[in-house]
Amino acid sequence: MGNKEDWEDVEKSVRKAEEEKLKSYKGIDITEMLKRKNIKSKNNISGEIIKFVSKRLIVIFTIISIFIIITIVWAYLDSMRNAHDIDVKQHIESFQHIKINQIYENLDEGEHNGEYCFEIKKYPLIKFKAIKHFGQEKNDLIDQLNKYLFDNWNSYKKDRFEIIENKNEEGLLEFKAYLTINTYEELIEGTQIIIEFLKYTEEWNEQNDRIVDLWQQKEGQFVMPMYNIYLMKDNKPIVPHSALFQTADEIMENAKQTYNSLISE
Protein backbone atom coordinates (compact mmCIF):
# COMPACT_ATOMS: atom_id res chain seq x y z
CA MET A 1 0.00 0.00 0.00
CA GLY A 2 1.47 3.35 -1.04
CA ASN A 3 1.48 6.63 0.87
CA LYS A 4 -1.51 7.90 -1.01
CA GLU A 5 -3.55 4.88 -0.14
CA ASP A 6 -2.41 5.09 3.48
CA TRP A 7 -3.54 8.71 3.67
CA GLU A 8 -6.93 7.88 2.19
CA ASP A 9 -7.41 5.14 4.80
CA VAL A 10 -6.61 7.62 7.55
CA GLU A 11 -9.17 10.09 6.19
CA LYS A 12 -11.78 7.34 6.01
CA SER A 13 -11.07 6.43 9.62
CA VAL A 14 -11.45 10.03 10.74
CA ARG A 15 -14.71 10.47 8.85
CA LYS A 16 -16.01 7.21 10.28
CA ALA A 17 -15.14 8.35 13.79
CA GLU A 18 -16.95 11.66 13.26
CA GLU A 19 -19.98 9.84 11.92
CA GLU A 20 -20.02 7.60 14.97
CA LYS A 21 -19.90 10.69 17.23
CA LEU A 22 -22.77 12.28 15.38
CA LYS A 23 -24.78 9.10 15.73
CA SER A 24 -24.07 8.97 19.47
CA TYR A 25 -25.41 12.55 19.87
CA LYS A 26 -28.38 11.75 17.64
CA GLY A 27 -27.24 13.95 14.87
CA ILE A 28 -26.65 17.05 17.07
CA ASP A 29 -23.37 18.83 16.71
CA ILE A 30 -21.73 19.08 20.14
CA THR A 31 -20.55 22.59 19.39
CA GLU A 32 -24.09 23.71 18.61
CA MET A 33 -25.34 21.93 21.73
CA LEU A 34 -22.81 23.68 23.93
CA LYS A 35 -23.71 26.99 22.37
CA ARG A 36 -27.40 26.41 23.14
CA LYS A 37 -26.54 25.36 26.65
CA ASN A 38 -24.61 28.59 27.21
CA ILE A 39 -27.53 30.65 25.87
CA LYS A 40 -29.97 28.79 28.13
CA SER A 41 -27.68 29.35 31.09
CA LYS A 42 -27.50 33.05 30.33
CA ASN A 43 -31.27 33.21 29.93
CA ASN A 44 -31.72 31.50 33.31
CA ILE A 45 -29.41 34.03 34.94
CA SER A 46 -31.27 36.94 33.31
CA GLY A 47 -34.58 35.44 34.42
CA GLU A 48 -33.37 35.15 37.99
CA ILE A 49 -32.21 38.75 37.96
CA ILE A 50 -35.57 39.91 36.58
CA LYS A 51 -37.42 37.88 39.21
CA PHE A 52 -35.23 39.35 41.96
CA VAL A 53 -35.72 42.92 40.78
CA SER A 54 -39.48 42.38 40.27
CA LYS A 55 -39.90 41.06 43.81
CA ARG A 56 -38.05 44.07 45.21
CA LEU A 57 -40.14 46.48 43.13
CA ILE A 58 -43.35 44.81 44.31
CA VAL A 59 -42.22 45.14 47.94
CA ILE A 60 -41.31 48.82 47.44
CA PHE A 61 -44.59 49.55 45.66
CA THR A 62 -46.57 47.81 48.41
CA ILE A 63 -44.79 49.82 51.13
CA ILE A 64 -45.42 53.10 49.28
CA SER A 65 -49.09 52.21 48.71
CA ILE A 66 -49.61 51.37 52.38
CA PHE A 67 -47.93 54.64 53.39
CA ILE A 68 -50.19 56.66 51.05
CA ILE A 69 -53.33 54.89 52.29
CA ILE A 70 -52.36 55.47 55.94
CA THR A 71 -51.66 59.15 55.21
CA ILE A 72 -55.04 59.64 53.51
CA VAL A 73 -56.93 57.84 56.27
CA TRP A 74 -55.09 59.83 58.95
CA ALA A 75 -55.84 63.14 57.18
CA TYR A 76 -59.51 62.18 56.84
CA LEU A 77 -59.82 61.20 60.50
CA ASP A 78 -58.01 64.39 61.52
CA SER A 79 -60.39 66.53 59.44
CA MET A 80 -63.35 64.67 60.95
CA ARG A 81 -61.99 65.32 64.42
CA ASN A 82 -61.43 69.01 63.65
CA ALA A 83 -64.94 69.31 62.19
CA HIS A 84 -66.38 67.52 65.19
CA ASP A 85 -64.55 69.89 67.54
CA ILE A 86 -65.62 73.06 65.66
CA ASP A 87 -65.47 76.23 67.76
CA VAL A 88 -68.81 77.90 67.00
CA LYS A 89 -67.82 81.41 68.11
CA GLN A 90 -64.55 81.37 66.21
CA HIS A 91 -66.23 79.88 63.15
CA ILE A 92 -68.84 82.66 62.99
CA GLU A 93 -66.31 85.43 63.56
CA SER A 94 -64.04 84.09 60.81
CA PHE A 95 -66.78 83.84 58.19
CA GLN A 96 -68.79 86.98 59.04
CA HIS A 97 -65.92 89.29 60.11
CA ILE A 98 -67.95 90.33 63.15
CA LYS A 99 -66.74 90.07 66.76
CA ILE A 100 -69.32 88.45 69.05
CA ASN A 101 -69.87 87.56 72.70
CA GLN A 102 -71.53 84.40 73.94
CA ILE A 103 -74.54 84.91 76.23
CA TYR A 104 -75.51 81.34 77.03
CA GLU A 105 -75.44 77.78 75.70
CA ASN A 106 -77.72 74.78 76.01
CA LEU A 107 -75.68 71.73 75.03
CA ASP A 108 -75.65 67.99 75.52
CA GLU A 109 -72.91 66.39 77.58
CA GLY A 110 -69.66 65.45 75.91
CA GLU A 111 -70.38 66.34 72.28
CA HIS A 112 -71.15 70.07 72.83
CA ASN A 113 -74.03 69.89 70.36
CA GLY A 114 -77.02 72.13 70.86
CA GLU A 115 -77.96 75.80 71.00
CA TYR A 116 -75.79 78.88 71.51
CA CYS A 117 -76.90 82.47 71.97
CA PHE A 118 -74.60 85.37 71.02
CA GLU A 119 -74.64 89.15 70.75
CA ILE A 120 -72.61 91.46 68.52
CA LYS A 121 -69.73 92.63 70.66
CA LYS A 122 -69.81 96.26 69.51
CA TYR A 123 -73.61 96.38 69.34
CA PRO A 124 -75.20 94.13 72.02
CA LEU A 125 -78.73 95.10 70.95
CA ILE A 126 -78.41 92.62 68.09
CA LYS A 127 -78.60 89.07 69.40
CA PHE A 128 -78.73 85.84 67.44
CA LYS A 129 -78.80 82.09 67.82
CA ALA A 130 -76.50 79.33 66.54
CA ILE A 131 -77.12 75.58 66.35
CA LYS A 132 -74.22 73.10 66.41
CA HIS A 133 -74.54 69.48 65.37
CA PHE A 134 -71.12 67.79 65.39
CA GLY A 135 -69.16 69.44 62.53
CA GLN A 136 -72.06 71.56 61.28
CA GLU A 137 -73.06 75.01 62.49
CA LYS A 138 -76.04 77.20 61.54
CA ASN A 139 -76.90 80.67 62.77
CA ASP A 140 -79.22 83.59 62.05
CA LEU A 141 -76.72 86.44 62.52
CA ILE A 142 -77.16 87.86 59.00
CA ASP A 143 -80.96 87.62 59.15
CA GLN A 144 -81.03 89.37 62.56
CA LEU A 145 -78.65 92.06 61.28
CA ASN A 146 -80.71 92.58 58.09
CA LYS A 147 -83.95 92.82 60.06
CA TYR A 148 -82.55 95.28 62.60
CA LEU A 149 -81.08 97.60 59.98
CA PHE A 150 -84.12 97.44 57.70
CA ASP A 151 -86.50 98.14 60.60
CA ASN A 152 -84.38 101.14 61.63
CA TRP A 153 -83.90 102.55 58.13
CA ASN A 154 -85.65 105.91 58.23
CA SER A 155 -86.99 105.97 54.69
CA TYR A 156 -90.57 106.01 53.37
CA LYS A 157 -89.35 103.88 50.44
CA LYS A 158 -89.08 100.78 52.59
CA ASP A 159 -92.88 100.62 52.66
CA ARG A 160 -92.73 99.43 49.05
CA PHE A 161 -90.98 96.22 50.08
CA GLU A 162 -92.61 92.87 50.72
CA ILE A 163 -91.37 91.28 53.96
CA ILE A 164 -90.79 87.57 54.63
CA GLU A 165 -90.16 86.88 58.30
CA ASN A 166 -90.49 83.59 60.17
CA LYS A 167 -88.66 81.11 62.38
CA ASN A 168 -87.60 77.76 60.95
CA GLU A 169 -87.96 74.41 62.74
CA GLU A 170 -84.70 75.05 64.62
CA GLY A 171 -85.86 78.43 65.89
CA LEU A 172 -83.57 80.46 63.60
CA LEU A 173 -84.89 83.68 62.11
CA GLU A 174 -85.44 83.89 58.35
CA PHE A 175 -85.78 87.48 57.15
CA LYS A 176 -86.08 88.78 53.58
CA ALA A 177 -87.32 92.02 52.01
CA TYR A 178 -87.88 92.47 48.28
CA LEU A 179 -89.30 94.89 45.73
CA THR A 180 -91.48 93.49 42.97
CA ILE A 181 -90.61 94.82 39.49
CA ASN A 182 -91.95 94.21 36.00
CA THR A 183 -90.09 96.55 33.65
CA TYR A 184 -86.53 97.61 32.98
CA GLU A 185 -87.31 101.10 34.32
CA GLU A 186 -88.59 99.58 37.56
CA LEU A 187 -85.39 97.52 37.77
CA ILE A 188 -83.26 100.68 37.63
CA GLU A 189 -85.44 102.46 40.18
CA GLY A 190 -85.59 99.45 42.53
CA THR A 191 -81.82 98.89 42.36
CA GLN A 192 -81.25 102.56 43.19
CA ILE A 193 -83.48 102.18 46.28
CA ILE A 194 -81.44 99.15 47.38
CA ILE A 195 -78.22 101.15 46.89
CA GLU A 196 -79.68 103.89 49.14
CA PHE A 197 -80.34 101.26 51.81
CA LEU A 198 -76.80 99.88 51.43
CA LYS A 199 -75.36 103.38 51.89
CA TYR A 200 -77.35 103.67 55.11
CA THR A 201 -75.96 100.32 56.39
CA GLU A 202 -72.37 101.36 55.55
CA GLU A 203 -72.80 104.63 57.44
CA TRP A 204 -74.26 102.70 60.39
CA ASN A 205 -71.25 100.37 60.30
CA GLU A 206 -68.80 103.29 60.39
CA GLN A 207 -70.70 105.04 63.19
CA ASN A 208 -70.49 101.89 65.33
CA ASP A 209 -66.73 101.43 65.06
CA ARG A 210 -66.86 99.07 62.07
CA ILE A 211 -68.87 96.12 63.33
CA VAL A 212 -68.15 94.39 60.02
CA ASP A 213 -64.40 94.94 59.82
CA LEU A 214 -62.60 94.24 56.54
CA TRP A 215 -59.31 96.05 56.10
CA GLN A 216 -59.36 95.42 52.32
CA GLN A 217 -62.42 97.67 51.87
CA LYS A 218 -61.79 100.57 49.51
CA GLU A 219 -63.67 103.84 49.14
CA GLY A 220 -67.10 103.34 47.56
CA GLN A 221 -67.24 99.59 48.22
CA PHE A 222 -70.05 97.94 50.19
CA VAL A 223 -69.17 95.20 52.70
CA MET A 224 -72.28 94.93 54.86
CA PRO A 225 -73.85 91.48 54.23
CA MET A 226 -77.28 92.73 53.09
CA TYR A 227 -77.93 89.90 50.64
CA ASN A 228 -81.52 89.37 51.86
CA ILE A 229 -82.65 92.70 50.39
CA TYR A 230 -83.38 92.19 46.69
CA LEU A 231 -85.75 92.53 43.72
CA MET A 232 -88.33 90.06 42.46
CA LYS A 233 -89.53 89.61 38.87
CA ASP A 234 -92.00 86.88 37.90
CA ASN A 235 -91.33 85.14 41.24
CA LYS A 236 -87.60 85.01 40.44
CA PRO A 237 -85.14 86.89 42.66
CA ILE A 238 -82.66 89.47 41.37
CA VAL A 239 -79.96 90.12 43.97
CA PRO A 240 -78.03 93.25 42.92
CA HIS A 241 -75.70 93.21 45.94
CA SER A 242 -74.46 89.63 45.81
CA ALA A 243 -70.81 89.85 46.91
CA LEU A 244 -68.40 91.78 49.11
CA PHE A 245 -66.53 94.84 47.82
CA GLN A 246 -69.04 95.79 45.11
CA THR A 247 -69.44 99.48 44.24
CA ALA A 248 -72.76 101.20 43.35
CA ASP A 249 -71.92 100.99 39.64
CA GLU A 250 -71.09 97.27 39.91
CA ILE A 251 -74.32 96.62 41.81
CA MET A 252 -76.35 98.38 39.12
CA GLU A 253 -74.55 96.48 36.36
CA ASN A 254 -75.11 93.19 38.16
CA ALA A 255 -78.85 93.94 38.40
CA LYS A 256 -79.04 94.74 34.66
CA GLN A 257 -77.22 91.56 33.65
CA THR A 258 -79.43 89.39 35.87
CA TYR A 259 -82.56 91.06 34.50
CA ASN A 260 -81.47 90.55 30.88
CA SER A 261 -80.71 86.89 31.60
CA LEU A 262 -84.20 86.40 33.06
CA ILE A 263 -86.09 87.96 30.15
CA SER A 264 -84.03 86.02 27.59
CA GLU A 265 -84.92 82.62 29.07
pLDDT tens digits, residue range 237-246?
Answer: 999 999 999 9
Residue 71: predicted pLDDT: 60
6-40 confidence digits (pLDDT tens): 566 656 665 666 666 555 545 555 555 555 655 66
Residue 100: predicted pLDDT: 97
Q: Over the range 16-50, which residues count as b (16 or more CB within 10 Å of their CB) and which as e?
A: eeeeeeeeeeeeeeeeeeeeeeeeeeeeeeeeeee
d(CA 184, CA 6): 128
Residue 66: predicted pLDDT: 78
Report residues of the chain scoring pLDDT below 70.
Answer: 1-48, 51-53, 61, 67, 70-84, 110-111
Triad 84, 86, 87: Cα angle to 5°: 150
All structural domains of the chain with their residue ranges: 3-80, 87-139, 140-265
Angle, nearest 10°, between helix axes 141-151 and 88-96?
50
Q: Is 176 helix (H, G, I), strand (E, B) or coil?
A: strand
